[in-house]
Amino acid sequence: MAFDSFQDFLAMGGHAPYVWASWGVTGALLIGIVLHARAERRRLLRMLQRRHRRQAATNQTSHRTGGERHEA
Amino acid sequence: MPSIDTRMSEGRQGSDGEPRGGLLVAVWATLKRDLTLLMRRRSEVLNPLVFFALVITLFPIGISPDPELLSTIAPGLLWVAALLAALLSLDSLFRSDYEDGSLEQLLLTPQPLAMLGLAKVAVHWLLTGLPLALMAPLLGIMLALPSGSYLTLAFSLALGTASLSLIGAIGAALTVGLSRGGVLLSLLVLPLYIPVLIFGAGAVQAAIMGDGAAAHLAILGALLALSLMLAPWAIAASLRISING
Amino acid sequence: MGKIWSFIHKLGSPKWFYGISARLMPWFWTAAVVLILAGSVWGLAFAPQDYQQGNSFRIIYVHVPAAFLAQSIFVSMAVAGLIFMVWKIKVADMAAAMMAPLGAAMTFIALFSGAVWGVPTWGTWWMWDARLTSMLILLFLYLGVIALRGAFSSRDSGSRAASVLAMVGVINIPIIKYSVDWWYTLHQPATFSVTSRPAMPMEMWAPLLIMVLGFYCFFIAVTLMRTRSEILRRESNKRWVRDIAGEQG
């Protein structure tokens, strides 16, 4: 352990603003990248599912109309 | 150019199909065609030179007319201004050929596109880089450039602008199909110009300090050799993308 | 040779890539999280402070990994571009498209942390230090690749143009780096450089190594994940993609 107390750790020997700014921005960007990638994937999957359901629905209706026509 | 002329006539006399020295004929024809075209549009040749002189005029006005201060920053100013002037002319390198369809014809020729592109770049350098290099000493006087560095300035610019034309042509070829490629072109090309700028301005600075600029000029030559080797292929690939896309 | 070829072409199939990446991704995510957390705790709290720079040297644990990654990502992007141009493998281009913004972000981290580090060491927010200058140029190269890809209306042309530019850039990066280094030593001979330091003790470089590895794993994991998304986007009309949507829905 390079520091005597938690206060010391936060103070970083007087360099706190620089160390924590660098680490903070890096951490925020890394987390932001992950969140963005996750949101992107979810959005795409939702979009694909919507399209899938819509297609399934149109397939069914076209089946049904086709069937009715056949009966008629 | 008697030797090329005789080979050209040999090429024409070549009886069946592909003429002998076909590549040389094609390169020579491209050179001649582009030179003629550009000589007819004089303003396109003159504009970069006027731009160069104008930018150099702006610096003493914007900074200070003090000759001592100007002489210390003159090598960098001259080089940066020349680099921007060369950049300015790049957009038109393939533009008119793209618009009138002759670039497509160039793609269809049996000769390698890289060599024909190289011919076009050579014309660009001959009518942009070389005049800029010849004009730079004149502007150097206006910036109180210390004596003893004028020859180095012209020579480093002549060598350097050749690399700039080659590298810039890649960017020009990539953006020729885009309607508003001008700003994008400078964004693509300027970072790649930095090594040439460093050694070009360094050469002039070394000449001023009396260190001898041979090493810098040698590196500029090496950069030119490298771009001569690699850039034509990149230009050809980029032209194909721009035409087919 | 035959094996390599079939491997390459398998890799080229988006479906195969989608499957294999799903199996690989958790490992890389786990490794990235564990390594970055371990490296951070070690580097921030346990590594001894530098005798010259005190605790401000702890910025090295984010600056150097980001700078490494910024350069490596550009090289990987160019390699992916080459694979795309030579073998027409679409997945390579999708990966390259996803790498560019990540690389730009890493370059930004390296630039930002380098600039902040400059305040306690040089007393100024910006110094035309060799490493910072080449990082800045690298950022412009990234922005150029991203802008060029976006400028084309046809995706295929944009992909091929971006690949060519990435390859041209990767040839230029070492030239730029060496010329900037040379320029810097010429103009600022006697400043203290933050990165070229005498041998570090093990307690200092071990966390750095861990952080670098963690960042690499992070890069691979993010690229795999986003490439998978890009596959879904570009292949959304393919049968197998629709089946995936059906299973999930």
For residue B174, give the nearest of C188, C148, C92, C90 by alpha carbon.
Answer: C148
Q: Is the pLDDT of residue B13 over 70?
A: no
The DSSP annotation for A25-56 comes to HHHHHHHHHHHHHHHHHHHHHHHHHHHHHHHH
Share of chain B above pLDDT 70, in %: 91
Asked whether the beta carbons of residue C236 and residue A51 sit closer than 8 angstroms, the reply is yes
| Chain C residues inside the 8 Å CB shell of B91 | none
Residue B96: per-residue pLDDT: 85
How far apart are alpha carbons B112 and B88 in whole angstroms?
Answer: 28
Q: Which residue of C has its CA nearest to B175?
A: C148
| Chain A residues inside the 8 Å CB shell of C48 | 2
- Per the listing, tokens 């038109």 go with B92
Q: Is the pLDDT of residue A66 over 60?
A: no
Asked whether the beta carbons of residue C228 and residue A2 sit closer than 8 angstroms, the reply is no
CB-nearest to A22 from C59, C245, C248 is: C59
The confidence band for A69, taking pLDDT boundaries of 50, 70 and 90, is very low
Q: Is the pLDDT of residue B206 over 60?
A: yes
Averaged pLDDT, C14-37: 92
Residue C1: per-residue pLDDT: 56
Contacts of B105 (CB under 8 A, 6+ apart): none
Q: Does residue A7 belong to the interface with chain C, where contact is any CB pair within 8 Å?
A: no
Asked whether the beta carbons of residue C147 and residue B187 sit closer than 8 angstroms, the reply is yes
Can you read off the two tokens belonging to residue B42?
A: 């004089």
How far apart are alpha carbons B76 and B95 in whole angstroms?
Answer: 30
Q: Does residue C218 belong to the interface with chain A, where contact is any CB pair within 8 Å?
A: yes
Q: Is the pLDDT of residue B79 over 80?
A: yes
Q: Does residue A30 belong to the interface with chain C, where contact is any CB pair within 8 Å?
A: yes
B234 or B107: which leads in pLDDT: B234
Averaged pLDDT, C193-208: 69
Averaged pLDDT, C60-78: 93
Alpha carbon C232 to chain centroid distance? Answer: 23
Asked whether the beta carbons of residue B178 and residue C144 sit closer than 8 angstroms, the reply is no
The confidence band for B108, taking pLDDT boundaries of 50, 70 and 90, is confident
Closest Cα in chain C, distance from residue B33 (Å): 28
Q: Is the pLDDT of residue C71 over 70?
A: yes
Q: Which residue of C has its CA nearest to A11?
A: C55
The DSSP annotation for C64-95 comes to HHHHHHHHHHHHHHHHHHHHHHHH--HHHHHH
Q: Where are the domains of chain C?
A: 63-235
B118: containing domain: 2-244
pTM, entire model: 0.88
C139 or B177: which leads in pLDDT: C139
| Cβ contacts from B onto C, under 8 A | 78
Averaged pLDDT, C80-88: 91
Asked whether the beta carbons of residue C183 and residue B184 sit closer than 8 angstroms, the reply is no
- Number of Cβ atoms within 10 Å of the Cβ of C2: 6
Q: Which of C29, C56, C99 best tests the A interface by mutation, with the highest count of A CBs <10 A?
A: C56
- Number of Cβ atoms within 10 Å of the Cβ of C206: 16
Q: Which residue of C has its CA nearest to B180?
A: C151
Q: Is the pLDDT of residue B190 over 90?
A: yes
Averaged pLDDT, C50-57: 78
CB-nearest to C176 from B194, B230, B241 is: B194
Q: Does residue C75 belong to the interface with chain A, where contact is any CB pair within 8 Å?
A: no
CB C163 within 8 A of CB C82: yes
CB-nearest to B241 from C137, C151, C161 is: C161
Averaged pLDDT, C149-173: 92
Q: Where are the domains of chain A?
A: 32-72
The DSSP 8-state label assigned to residue A14 in this structure reads G
**Mean per-residue pLDDT over chain B, rounded:** 86
Q: Which of B214-218, C71-75, C178-182 tops mean pLDDT?
A: C71-75
Closest Cα in chain C, distance from residue A19 (Å): 6
For residue B159, give the nearest of B187, B201, B101 by alpha carbon.
Answer: B201
The ipTM value here is: 0.85
Averaged pLDDT, C189-211: 67
Domain count within chain B: 1
pLDDT tens digit sequence for A30-65: 999 999 999 999 999 888 888 888 888 887 776 665
Chains that touch B (3 or more CB pairs under 8 A): C
CB C138 within 8 A of CB C173: yes
The confidence band for B3, taking pLDDT boundaries of 50, 70 and 90, is very low
CB-nearest to C45 from A9, A30, A44 is: A9
Averaged pLDDT, C44-48: 84
3-state secondary structure of C167: helix
Residue C225: per-residue pLDDT: 94
Asked whether the beta carbons of residue C148 and residue B237 sit closer than 8 angstroms, the reply is no
Q: Does residue C132 belong to the interface with chain A, where contact is any CB pair within 8 Å?
A: no
Q: Does residue C237 belong to the interface with chain A, where contact is any CB pair within 8 Å?
A: no
Q: Is the pLDDT of residue C73 over 80?
A: yes
B187 or A62: which leads in pLDDT: B187
How far apart are alpha carbons C230 and C92 in whole angstroms?
Answer: 11
| Chain C residues inside the 8 Å CB shell of A21 | 116
Q: Is the pLDDT of residue B2 over 60?
A: no
How far apart are alpha carbons C81 and C96 in whole angstroms?
Answer: 7
Q: Is the pLDDT of residue A70 over 60?
A: no
Residue A63: per-residue pLDDT: 63
The confidence band for C171, taking pLDDT boundaries of 50, 70 and 90, is very high
